Structure 1
Amino acid sequence: MKVGLFIPCYIDQLYPQVGIATLQLLERLQCEVLYPLNQTCCGQPMANSGFASLSKGCDENFVTNFAGCDYIVAPSGSCVLHVKEHLVSRKAQRAASHIREHIYELVEFLTDVLRVDTIEASFPHTVGLHNSCHGQRGLHLSSMTEQGTPVFSKPVRLLNMVKGLQLRSPDRSDECCGFGGTFCVFEEAVSVKMGKDRIREHEYNQVSYITGGDVSCLMHLEGILRRKGSGIKVIHIAEILNSGHDNR
């Protein structure tokens, strides 16, 4: 199994430790991981801003870099969903189709493809989980309360395998944090208020960390936490699942 590791641009530039943790975790699970050096942005920011036509170069470059992989995995639900729904290629339509059908968010890949049932990780802290909208509603990583369907959560299932971790869920476990890509720029006040509401519930639960599968949401929450001088930290779920192992 050749797994192409896709690291979104904001992780590469601002949270490289998340990419490292993802690589180490996949290799520990016996995956042959390939990291195409010429990969760039998937084009999501342009598409979200109404300039999808400007992302065609990103599409072609993505196909060029990941066409030979059995699977493509990324620690970002929003970027994965964008590729699943929007990736096209005039030069390599079959390769683009294969990528759309075989790209996975990290939690989704561990649960649905590798079918992981044990995790050798230790994280003795109290943790709150933030469910990102793209992961929950687009990739179906967890159930949605408004639908009244049987409750499930792939991130919770994995986190419960981590030794010493105490998971505390907010009352409104599937509410948006307010990031929303460019939404947080054009609707700054609304975005911040939504983020503060999310943080208030985690503070009530007295968590030490907030985790999730999208660094973009965690980055938004981290900014609010820092401005208010909170001691709560954010950490990507890949870092928790890889905890207890030395970095390279």
Structure 2
Amino acid sequence: MRVGLYVTCLIDLMRPEIGFSVVKLIEAAGFEVVVPPAQTCCGQPAYNSGERRIARDLAEKLLREFEQFDYVVVPSGSCAGMIAVHYNDLFQDDPELMGRFGQLRVKVYELTDFLVNVAKIELPRGSFVGPVTYHDSCSGLRELGIKAQPRALLAQVGVEIAEMTGCEHCCGFGGTFALKYGNISTAIVDEKCENIRASGAETVVLGDLGCMLNIEGRLRRAGDSTTRVLHIAQVLAQDVRDV
């Protein structure tokens, strides 16, 4: 079966190695991965800023590019949430687009949800040195119910999780929120960084690159050069053989 991989802007521009790890995992589960080369933004920044026309144009573009696939996999809770939840709002005044979106919606999965509930992947126990602590991103958790899935996958590869206090609390990024309300965002991420340090883990793992860049950036600016901040795909794929 063919999986359309929606890479996301941040992975494409900032951490392409995460995208390669995602491809490795999906192919190891027995699926063909296709990355539409013309894909761009899902429209979330425009939507959050009240630019509905721009968000609608981007949503229609994504719909045209991905409706051909058996599944659409997104390695980001925020982008997956935008597509699966908020496109319904953007298309509500157009019955034809709503019909097409309805067919796409049931095929859209956040990466860990896809690996656990669709691919039912069985990963080898790996060589990753733990423990890690896990940050639950807001959109993945609250819009898509992503909570148990990443932890189940980490357990498969033998990674111990040291749960931090407030693992479900926001990291302060929130897309354009961090730009509009910098002081509040900084206070929130400072609390998150303190909880990471208090967990005793040397690595924080998560499933959304926006959160990853925000947390890593604040740790580094605060003088912490040792705590690793990794996307879950990087941890899961490191001992998976190339297909």
Partner of 2:160: 166
8 Å CA contact retained: 2:127, 2:239: yes
8 Å CA contact retained: 2:123, 2:240: no
Partner of 1:156: 151
Partner of 1:146: none
Between the aligned partners of 1:119 and 1:215, the Cα distance in structure 2 is 25
Size of the alignment, in residue pairs?
Answer: 237
For normalisation by structure 1, the TM-score amounts to 0.89
Corresponding position: 1:242 with 2:237? yes
Change over 3 Å in CA distance of 1:31–1:247 after alignment to 2 = closer
Structure 1 segment 56-205 matched on structure 2, within 5 A: 56-87=56-87, 92-142=97-147, 153-163=148-158, 165-205=159-199
Between the aligned partners of 1:8 and 1:200, the Cα distance in structure 2 is 28
User: What is the CA distance between 1:173 and its match in structure 2?
Assistant: 2.0
Between the aligned partners of 2:241 and 2:49, the Cα distance in structure 1 is 40
8 Å CA contact retained: 2:124, 2:239: no
**CA RMSD of the aligned region, Å?**
1.8
Change over 3 Å in CA distance of 1:119–1:134 after alignment to 2 = farther
Query: Which 10-residue stretch deviates more, 51-60 or 61-70?
Result: 51-60
Identity across the alignment (%)? 33
For normalisation by structure 2, the TM-score amounts to 0.91
Stretches of 4+ moved more than 6 A in 1? none
Change over 3 Å in CA distance of 1:226–1:133 after alignment to 2 = same
Between the aligned partners of 2:202 and 2:152, the Cα distance in structure 1 is 20
SS in 2 for 1:40: coil
Change over 3 Å in CA distance of 1:119–1:65 after alignment to 2 = farther
Change over 3 Å in CA distance of 1:167–1:117 after alignment to 2 = same
Query: Which 10-residue stretch deviates more, 90-99 or 204-213?
Result: 90-99
Residue-by-residue CA offset, 1:14-41 (whole Å, 9 max, x unaligned): 0111111101110111111111111110
Between the aligned partners of 2:123 and 2:11, the Cα distance in structure 1 is 27
Between the aligned partners of 1:247 and 1:207, the Cα distance in structure 2 is 29
Between the aligned partners of 1:117 and 1:36, the Cα distance in structure 2 is 27
Q: Where do 5+ consecutive residues of structure 2 fail to align?
A: none
User: What is the CA distance between 1:100 and its match in structure 2?
Assistant: 1.6
Q: Name the aligned partner's letter for residue 99 of structure 1.
A: L
Corresponding position: 1:209 with 2:230? no
Q: Name the aligned partner's letter for residue 153 of structure 2.
A: L
Between the aligned partners of 1:16 and 1:107, the Cα distance in structure 2 is 18
Between the aligned partners of 2:68 and 2:86, the Cα distance in structure 1 is 19
Between the aligned partners of 2:134 and 2:59, the Cα distance in structure 1 is 32
SS in 1 for 2:161: strand
8 Å CA contact retained: 1:119, 1:158: no
Residue-by-residue CA offset, 1:95-144 (whole Å, 9 max, x unaligned): 322212210000111112122344453311221100001111110112xx
Between the aligned partners of 1:246 and 1:235, the Cα distance in structure 2 is 20
Residue-by-residue CA offset, 1:192-216 (whole Å, 9 max, x unaligned): 1111111111112222211111110
Between the aligned partners of 1:8 and 1:41, the Cα distance in structure 2 is 7
Between the aligned partners of 1:94 and 1:28, the Cα distance in structure 2 is 33
Partner of 1:147: none
SS in 1 for 2:156: coil
Between the aligned partners of 2:29 and 2:160, the Cα distance in structure 1 is 24
User: What is the CA distance between 1:57 and its match in structure 2?
Assistant: 1.9
